[in-house]
Structure 1
């Protein structure tokens, strides 16, 4: 697989997701970082988005609930290059009926080299990074070149 460099703008697109037992933590984290998050475009799955918007006043594009396809919506946005960063407070102790969707989302984030925070500590590190508010580059798979080389065979 070959890769190409893409530039991330200073105003990033950030997806917010939290499992039920982690929603309060996500809301509290977003409230603590409200000023920094307000400088970016935010989307979130169903209830998480509603709770964060209600508590913080942040403008959030709401997707459907995770079990109804919200995780897959976020994955599709990542694959389309429309999400630059994923904040996903998942619950490692609670089995989820949509576990395959969660694994697929984390896989697609890894494939597209998206920064992912799975808890408050990692999310704090990301927000504290100078790359959070500035331009930066990341390497992504060059699927156009990959598919062209495969079809030439």
Structure 2
């Protein structure tokens, strides 16, 4: 598996920076998966200077961001061929540890990296918690035994889950919730924005959830500030996981509110996990089911 890797300057500026916290927690999993990490120049150099991933053949260096390194990751998420029709320059997703106050996190190539991952159904991972959970997810799906050190990312009995979908993605969200209703019901609480929450509650009641008891606690609709309300819960660490089915093809009047929620998630990078596409969320659910079965043995 080939994954693009980048981290804003703050996240590799000190010994305990986010990039290194992730690598210390997941280096063994990276090696087990034989993961290829195609790292933008400064991120690669920071890993090498720290003496991490020593001898790992899958660590590849790309140009500095200012020289087009992040742009190359975007193109390879889409997929490139070698001139002979062989798509051998294709990434399977991207890990981009974002510092929300770093101006480069809003550069076109940074925004495009996420957008193309969503469009092509590939993982886009932007926090330490998401990166740790993703490595464990892929380990379990590859047949490795669950890592007890990752249990906190899969203990949903005390966590809150946000379920959000743009208009064109609401049917997909309902299908996702119906398919994985039992697993999603294991969360201590589910929250959502107005219309999505209303439809999810109707689904839950049709599935036997106690009538009159909301399966999803509803906030305002997105255009009226629901995204901002949920962002506040994320910042207060009262919402640990966000499933946000975005429609990358439509400009929205409340785009700033959507970006605010995304920035909140990356602000609490060690505590918030976010899935941005149906493909990413479905693979997470597959891992949850398999991991629970393995832990029960």
Matches within 5 A, 1:58-137: 59-113=215-269, 114-130=272-288
Higher strand proportion: 1
- Which structure ranks higher in relative contact order (CA pairs < 8 Å, sequence separation ≥ 6)? 1
Q: Which residue of 2 aligns with 1:137?
A: none
Q: Which residue of 1 aligns with 2:164?
A: 17
TM-score computed with the length of structure 1 as normaliser: 0.77
In the aligned structure 1, how far is the partner of 2:180 from the partner of 2:162?
15
* Unmatched tracts of structure 2, length 5 or more: 1-9, 11-15, 22-128, 130-151, 210-214, 293-297
User: Does residue 177 of structure 2 align to residue 30 of structure 1?
Assistant: yes
CA-CA distance at 1:116 after TM superposition: 1.0
Larger radius of gyration: 2
CA-CA distance at 1:67 after TM superposition: 0.7
In the aligned structure 2, how far is the partner of 1:128 from the partner of 1:77?
27
Aligned length: 134
CA-CA distance at 1:130 after TM superposition: 4.3
Please state whether the residue corresponding to 2:217 is helix, strand or coil. strand
Work out which of the residue numbers 193, 197, 207 in structure 2 matches 1:45.
Answer: 193
In the aligned structure 1, how far is the partner of 2:274 from the partner of 2:227?
14
CA RMSD of aligned residues (A): 2.6
Q: Which stretches of structure 1, 4 residues or more, deviate above 4 A after TM superposition?
A: 5-9
* Unmatched tracts of structure 1, length 5 or more: 135-153
Show CA shifts across 1:93-117 (max 9, x none): 0110000111111111112121111
